[in-house]
């Protein structure tokens, strides 16, 4: 049990350094629910993009909003999430955040037997889970829930939820983020644990309530091949 958590921690802290460059197709569905009861949910946007992870940074190309090409991210309504590929794992495990873990039991995630853990980070210790709205930003305190595979400690699911420290006048008041992870086998016989889907619920100061679903598919290793061709000899 302790070895599983240790393996998950070691993987998370090294992931950004050793994670290969890769590309994925990303599909996003955004909804608004002003009553927070899921009965009056209004579709907002469907977004498709080509996500790239290169040298530890996320990039989003070929953005389409409701099926139409768009080069302007400002057209995206509601909230947007970054950091699925690595930063959220640091939010759970980086020692600078002083996370406090507690074993809570056994369960399953997508049919895989798992150990479950809860953890908490005080808002004054939070260095990695940052909320932004316009020019404003905040670093809230948060509770988390982690599922790791009983067999090898692989990350299966991570939940982050705000737990205090949010300024009363900040436009975003609460966020709950749940990310599932899976092992992706690249065509070159290498592989890595990557996010497969995320669900994010956001409650705003003005009582708007957003739900966002993100799916990552067709991930593959990103390589740049180059050749050096010597000058051809002059023709007689």
Distance CA 165, CA 95 (A): 19
Distance CA 50, CA 53 (A): 10
Which residues fall within 8 angstroms of residue 211, CB to CB, at 6 or more apart? 30, 31, 32, 33, 41, 199, 200, 201, 202
Nearest to 86 by CA among 123, 126, 66, 56: 56
Taking only the tens of pLDDT, the chain with its 236 residues reads: 668 888 888 878 777 677 777 888 989 888 887 665 555 566 778 888 888 887 777 778 888 888 888 765 555 665 666 666 767 888 888 888 899 999 999 999 999 999 999 999 999 999 888 888 888 889 999 999 999 999 888 899 999 998 788 999 999 999 999 999 988 887 766 778 888 899 999 988 988 888 889 998 888 876 654 444 445 455 54
* Chain centroid, CA 84 distance in Å: 2
Tell me the domains of the chain and their CATH numbers. 2-221 (2.50.20)
């Amino acid at each position: 049990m302790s070895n599983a958590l240790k393996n998950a921690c070691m993987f998370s802290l090294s992931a950004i350094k050793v994670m290969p460059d890769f590309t994925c197709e990303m599909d996003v569905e955004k909804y608004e629910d002003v009553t927070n009861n899921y009965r009056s949910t209004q579709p907002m946007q469907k977004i498709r993009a080509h996500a790239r992870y290169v040298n530890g940074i996320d990039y989003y190309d070929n953005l389409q909003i409701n099926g139409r090409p768009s080069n302007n991210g400002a057209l995206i309504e509601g909230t947007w999430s970054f950091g699925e590929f690595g930063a959220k794992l640091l939010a759970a495990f980086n020692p600078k955040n002083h996370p406090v873990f507690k074993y809570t039991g056994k369960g399953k995630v997508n049919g895989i037997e798992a150990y479950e853990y809860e953890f908490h980070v005080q808002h004054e210790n939070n260095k990695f889970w940052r909320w932004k709205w316009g020019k404003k930003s905040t670093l809230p305190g948060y509770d988390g829930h982690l599922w790791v595979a009983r067999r090898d400690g692989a990350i299966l699911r991570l939940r982050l939820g705000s737990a205090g420290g949010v300024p009363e006048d900040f436009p975003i008041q609460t966020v709950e983020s749940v990310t599932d992870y899976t092992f992706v086998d690249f065509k070159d016989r290498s592989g890595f644990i990557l996010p497969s889907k995320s669900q994010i619920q956001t409650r705003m100061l003005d009582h708007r309530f957003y739900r966002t679903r993100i799916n990552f598919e067709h991930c593959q290793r990103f390589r740049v091949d180059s050749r050096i061709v010597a000058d051809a000899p002059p023709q007689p």
